[in-house]
Amino acid sequence: MDLQLSGRVAVVTGASKGIGLAVVRTLLAEGARVVAASRKTTPELDALAGPSLLHVPVDLMDHDAPGQVVERAVREFGGLDVLVNNAGGPPPGVRLPRSSFLEADDGQWLAMFEFNLFAVVRAVRAALPHLIERGGGAIVNVSSGNARQPSPMNVDYGAAKAALNNLGQALSEEFAARGVRVNTVSPGPVRTAWWTDEGGVADMFAAQAGTDRDTVMDSVVPETMGLTIGRMIDPQEVADAVVLLASPRSAGTTGAEFVVDGGFLKTV
């Protein structure tokens, strides 16, 4: 299927690994020109280097960073058609999961909302004039199943993502008439570095369960989180949904939430 993305300009945040890297790779394969924003690059992102890819090293906790990334895309590639707000999760200095709501102080709550909500607000604010100038475009926000399935281990994260879902719905209502579609993709547990790195979440769970990280990801997580497909999600599976929503082939879809969670959410 031709997603009609050839020549279009996209900004992707959190682009150096995991879901963001998969989104960048897929957009490039579809012929898009991509500005990849992340604190630092990775060998995997460097391997995609070429005239259609620009990496911008930024810390999205810096209030000016989202606007700088958007302006760089416009300057380098002449405009903007797609914004993928993928960066999220624990901000620098914050570690998840927690054992209780009582573990997080005000500073950690503020940092979580800065990274997972306010950075998105700033990116959207910067991007909208350029999207509208081009006659419209697409914004895709990467949220989480925890936005609708609260967890005491990640309560501040879930609250920030719930706010992100609300933001996306409100934006879709206001800007659809001006050609800008806004949709949300909500992954479940994705097999990314947050889980797989040494000292990551899989190792934390493995220590508690008296097992190893591979057993945690292959068996413990799918069982305890009720993943009906029996496994964690691959980043590419989330990226496929993101890129489809970014594409003109989804021109009739706005204000929607696409769930890619392996059956994690059970509600209607």
The yes or no reply on domain 9-189+234-256 and CATH 3.40.50.720 is: yes
Containing 12, the helix (H) or strand (E) segment is strand 9-13
Nearest of 5, 135, 130 to residue 78 by alpha carbon = 130
Q: Within the chain, what is the greatest distance between any pair of CA atoms?
A: 56
- Taking the C-alpha atoms of residue 79 and residue 51, their distance in angstroms, rounded to an integer, is 16
Per-residue pLDDT, 50 = 97
Burial (CB count within 10 angstroms: exposed 0-12, middle 13-18, buried 19+), residue 236: middle
- pLDDT one-digit tens code per residue, 88-138: 999 988 888 888 999 999 999 999 999 999 999 999 999 999 999 999 999
Q: How far is CA 94 from the centre of its chain?
A: 18
CB atoms within 10 A of CB 76: 12
DSSP state of 147: G
Per-residue pLDDT, 200 = 80
Domain limits, the chain: 9-189+234-256, 191-232
10-residue mean pLDDT profile of the chain (268 residues): values are 96 98 98 98 97 98 98 98 97 85 94 98 98 97 95 92 98 98 96 84 83 87 92 97 98 97 91
What value, to the nearest 5°, has the Cα angle with vertex 48 and ends 161 and 190? 30
Please list, residue by residue across 206-230, b when 16 or more beta carbons sit within 10 angstroms of its beta carbon and e when fewer do. beeeeeebeebbbebbbeebebeee
Spatial contact of 115 and 88, defined as CB atoms under 8 Å apart: yes
The three-class DSSP label of residue 97 is coil
Which residues are identified as catalytic? 157
Per-residue pLDDT, 151 = 86
- Taking the C-alpha atoms of residue 165 and residue 237, their distance in angstroms, rounded to an integer, is 20
Per-residue pLDDT, 214 = 87
